[in-house]
Structure 1
Amino acid sequence: MQNSLYYQFIGFLQTPSLWKNEEIFNLEQFNTPQIKLSPSHDFKSVFPELDTQYVMGKRMEIFFKEFISLSPTYKTLASNLQIFRKKVTLGEIDFILQDLPSLQIIHLELVYKFYIYDPSILNEIDRWIGPNRKDTLQQKINKLKSKQFPLVEADETRSALESYQIDTSKLDQKVCFKAKLFVPKEMLENGFPFINNECIEGYYLKSKEFETKEYSANLYFIPSKRNWPVHPKHNDQWYSYSEIQEELSSSLEKNKSPLIWRKISEDTWESFFLVWW
């Protein structure tokens, strides 16, 4: 894929916020404003290590910092600020930003997630889980409220921010929580409570469902995780149904649910997870 860093960055920016109504989770969303960006933007010189390094969360933090540097509205005062107590890490502050028009200082936590919807789970909010069932939306919300945002109240955080001349009592706290969501195929037209339904990106299948004739005639690609934010239309290499079987089998045997891009026609693509469970 040509310009993969550019398309990853655009995918990050275009991923919607997980909620619009702040009363649902009692967390204020930071909505990324529009910026002008060209495919010729030299990402490799800005962060050359991204070609081979960094897990999803760290990549998104680097993208967010680059976005802020390109925005005329905000300025990064501090990022990835480690807070220690007697050499023990209490936590990390993702970003301290300044809103330039208002001069307001913002403590921002960045979250970028892929969740699938499991209707077999009893409580609605608990149904949004990671593709490998290792994390949930509710767990992340709880962590933000109980650990990440209260961290600014620690004496060690106040001390760390003194060098930036920041009064923690006057910080405005926000979260930039972006997500791509996948639901059972038969529920694609449904509306879902609590979340921004614009985040619905595709569906997911069990392995038996993928073995039907419906899928055998199309072309596919299994993107690496760093390319999960990318729209499949930017991909230029495709494989037949039979050609991807070995890679799929290997992932499922390791209890890993791969993301799959499906090319149906020259101008029609789909994204879906094939889950192992």
Structure 2
Amino acid sequence: MSQTHLQKQCAGFLNTPPLWQKEQFGIKQFEFPKIDWSTFQPKAISERIRLGHQMEHVFKQLVEHSEAYEILLHNLPIKDGNRTIGEIDFVLKNTQTRQLIHVELTYKFYIINPEISEPIHQLMGPNRRDMFFTKMEKIKNDQFQLLHSHEGSKALHNKDIDHTKILHQACYKAQLFDPYRSNPVNIRPLNTECFTGYWLRFEDFKTADFKSFEFYIPFKAQWVIEPHEDVQWTSHFETLMDINLRMLKENTPMVWMKTSETEFEKFFVVWW
């Protein structure tokens, strides 16, 4: 992974808004500390690990660079005998107040499906396998409670951390994509600043609306970053052929579209 891509990935993570502000659904949102970007030099992150794990490394490096928190532990597996029953993402210590904070990190890409009536249930992964409501409930009912289980409190005690002194928070960042040419979608109490693009079906992408533009299909590690000029752009026809193969494999690609030398759009072409 090049240094330029690392910088763009870290900037993309940092600039992605939280999915909600302050506290919602009984989950307090982690307030990211100020980062001195001029002195930040990201360390290498393996491209072989999945995007969620890459984001953990980005989070870790950014928090370490700030002076607001000390990282006490990261990715601590919790075991029941030989069986791993869960993992604690981060425990931080506020360097001013000394308060301990357990942070569960989540970075997601959600499309909004207005066919579902309840806004909180409308958010789903582009392949329809990843539901926001399910993830949010898991954080609150499973991952937060793990620290206070017998196995979790014992693992923390072995690290000289008292589980009763810990506050629970989530760093839950997301990019949202509403339906192509739709009316504004109501997602409150979620953060409307998370909207970053749109989604459409393959039949829509075949239309004349898109024929005059150039396209790029980013790798998963590039999904986080802002679209930019410095990639290999292809014609609408070439992109159609590429996307058609992905549709057959039931895989939803993200697509960047160049509308001018300095303006870009991004969207998902869903297979379903």
What is the TM-score of this pair, normalised by structure 1? 0.93
1:156 pairs with 2:157: no
Q: Which residue of 2 aligns with 1:134?
A: 129
Superposition pairs of residues 195-234 of structure 1, within 5 angstroms: 195-233=190-228
Q: Deviation of residue 186 (structure 1)? A: 2.5
Gaps of 5+ in 2: none
Q: Deviation of residue 154 (structure 1)? A: 1.2
Q: Deviation of residue 37 (structure 1)? A: 2.3
Q: Which residue of 1 aligns with 2:106?
A: 111
Q: Deviation of residue 220 (structure 1)? A: 0.6
Cα distance in structure 2, aligned partners of 1:177 and 1:120: 24
Show CA shifts across 1:190-215 (max 9, x none): 44222100000110011111111110
Change (3 A) 1:68 1:123: same
Change (3 A) 1:172 1:41: closer
Decide whether the 8 Å contact of 2:33 with 2:63 is kept in 1.
no
Show CA shifts across 1:220-264 (max 9, x none): 100001110010025432111112222211111111110000100
The residue type paired with residue 7 of structure 1 is K
Gaps of 5+ in 1: none
1:256 pairs with 2:254: no
Q: Which residue of 1 aligns with 2:17?
A: 16
Identity of matched residues, %: 37
> Aligned pairs, how many?
271
Decide whether the 8 Å contact of 1:110 with 1:176 is kept in 2.
yes
Cα distance in structure 1, aligned partners of 2:76 and 2:221: 24
Cα distance in structure 1, aligned partners of 2:108 and 2:224: 10
Cα distance in structure 1, aligned partners of 2:210 and 2:3: 27
Decide whether the 8 Å contact of 1:188 with 1:202 is kept in 2.
no
Cα distance in structure 2, aligned partners of 1:172 and 1:2: 35
Cα distance in structure 1, aligned partners of 2:212 and 2:134: 40
Cα distance in structure 1, aligned partners of 2:13 and 2:206: 32
Q: Which residue of 2 aligns with 1:170?
A: 165
Decide whether the 8 Å contact of 1:129 with 1:136 is kept in 2.
yes
Q: Deviation of residue 156 (structure 1)? A: 1.7
1:187 pairs with 2:192: no
Classify the secondary structure of the residue corresponding to 2:28.
Answer: coil
Superposition pairs of residues 17-166 of structure 1, within 5 angstroms: 17-22=18-23, 24-38=24-38, 42-43=41-42, 46-47=43-44, 49-50=45-46, 52-166=47-161
Please, which moves more after superposition, 108-117 or 190-199? 190-199
Decide whether the 8 Å contact of 2:178 with 2:185 is kept in 1.
no
Q: C-alpha root-mean-square deviation of aligned residues, in Å? A: 1.7
Cα distance in structure 1, aligned partners of 2:154 and 2:3: 45
Cα distance in structure 2, aligned partners of 1:55 and 1:26: 28
The residue type paired with residue 114 of structure 2 is P
Q: Deviation of residue 96 (structure 1)? A: 0.6
Q: Deviation of residue 42 (structure 1)? A: 4.6
Q: Which residue of 1 aligns with 2:242?
A: 247
Q: Deviation of residue 105 (structure 1)? A: 0.6
What is the TM-score of this pair, normalised by structure 2? 0.95
Classify the secondary structure of the residue corresponding to 2:128.
Answer: coil
